[in-house]
Structure 1
Amino acid sequence: MDLIGKTAIITGASSGIGKGIAKHLSDVGVNVVLAARNKEKLAGVAEEINQSMQGKALAVETDVSNKEDMDVLIKQARNTFGKVDIFVNNAGQMLHSRVQDGHVDEWEKMIDVNIKGVLYGIHGVLPEMLERKSGHIINIASVSGHEVTKVSTVYSATKFAVRAISMGLEKELARTGVRVTNISPGKVDTDLASASQSSDRKPLHTDDIAKSVIYAVSQPDYVNVNEITVRPV
């Protein structure tokens, strides 16, 4: 599928998996709108893409847990590039997750970013995608949304929720032309990587997750890749 000239929004794009996804998409000609809270890092990623990639980049400082910020992000993307073809819900928080430790403030941050942020993004782009009968929503979940450890209870709950949203949305949108893909990475070599995950395997690179996004969005428009799990060997 020809991706040149399409537009993608990527949340959490200032570093890690989000940055990798943005660079891979722009390398195949997709215009990318980069969203994150760190304005300086975001600007650096945008400059790198604009200087060396096929696609163009726009940086928009965004807190995904704030619905007004998400609305502004999507409006700026449309004003700059015309429409949003791909929305990548990548921003995430991995904080203290043991229930007995009682870190309620950190649970709330994870719920706000990992669940509400995903829903706000979908809510903002979906009506126009449905009207065009075309579009692709990519939700970055986690293998923690498949398996729970004794130290991942709340984080895993948020990633189970992302998978549930993806599964339900895919059924809601069947035969509408709008596709949904849930991607669950294992341990990736990023700042977000949890020390609680097994260290006896070589971590994945951010490029490994970015390539799975390219695979999903480059399929023919009658093919919907619903679920991808990427783990270290």
Structure 2
Amino acid sequence: MDLELNGKTALITGGSRGIGKAVARELGREGVDVAIASRGMEALEETAKVLAAETGRRFIPISVDTSNEESIKAMVKIAADELGRIDILVNSAARVGGSGPAPKLAEITEEYFFEDMNTKVLGYIRCAQAVAPYMQQQGWGRIINLSGLAARQSGNAVGSIRNVSVAALTKNMADELG
């Protein structure tokens, strides 16, 4: 499939595995050079090596903690410097499975809730805030926020709130940024 992305660049958080890795692979197949970011550099380096070999595109591994604004700013600067620009941001980072099974309503702690929201929802906001000026200066860009099925399912109140928040954030970003 030709999505007319050949020669574009992308930054993907949560890019070392799962959906983020799959998106990175497909963008590479479309001719996009990709910076992949997550917490674990070892997994990132291996993913970058594998995807570059599969697609023939550049994959740049960058360590980031999306719960930390300074870490995000550093990630964006590295990506922009290495790629020359950032055309596409894919926000895919999240706590992998949290710290175990989803707590029931009576078991949810503020610490658990805020950690989950800080990593994903606030992380997506921080990434968009850091990347949007590049896109606005270029006159072109796309921001893609990956939510999750938990937005539509019961049994995980924090996951539902987190993913509904991402959907609302995405709508607001689209209205504001165009």
TM-score (norm 1): 0.70
1:69-127 CA-partner distances (Å, limit 9, x unpaired): 11111101111111000000001124334331133332222111111110011000101
Q: Which of 118, 129, 133 is 1:123 aligned to?
A: 129
**1:155 equivalent among 152, 156, 159:** 159
Measured after TM superposition, the shift of residue 132 of structure 1 is: 2.1
Residue of structure 2 equivalent to 1:165: 169
Decide which structure has greater helix share: 2
User: What is aligned with 1:213?
Assistant: none
Match of 1:24 in 2: 26
Secondary structure (helix, strand or coil) at the match of 2:85 reads coil
Aligned to 2:56: 54
Question: Which residues of 2 match residues 4-19 of structure 1 at below 5 A?
Answer: 4-19=6-21
Amino acid at match of 2:45: A
Equivalent pairs: percent with the same residue? 28
CA contact (8 A) 1:88 1:139 kept: yes
Residue 229 of structure 1 corresponds to none
Paired letter, 2:56: Q
- Separation of aligned partners in 2, 1:97 and 1:132: 44
In structure 2, list runs of 5 or more residues that go unmatched: none
Structure 2 counterpart of 1:184: none
Q: Which position in structure 2 is the counterpart of 1:107?
A: 113
Hey, what's the Cα distance between the residues in 2 that align with 1:98 and 1:7?
41
- Aligned partner of 2:4 in structure 1 is 2
Cα 1:66/1:103, change in 2 over 3 Å: same
* 1:42 is aligned to 2:44: yes
Cα drift, residue 54 of structure 1: 3.0
Q: 1:2 to 1:29 in 2, by over 3 A?
A: same
Is 2:143 aligned against 1:143? no
Contact 1:30–1:54, Cα closer than 8 Å, also in 2? no
Alignment partner, residue 64 of structure 1:
66
Gaps of 5+ in 1: 175-233
**Paired AA for residue 133 in structure 2:** P
Residues 145-171 of structure 1, C-alpha deviations (whole Å, 9 max, x = no match): 2x241x211111111110011111111
Instruction: State the 1:62 CA deviation.
Output: 0.9
The amino acid that maps onto 2:165 is A
Q: CA deviation at 1:47?
A: 0.7
Whether the aligned pair in 2 keeps the contact of 1:77 and 1:84 (CA below 8 Å) is yes
Aligned to 1:224: none
- Count matched residues: 172
Report the equivalent of 2:139: 133
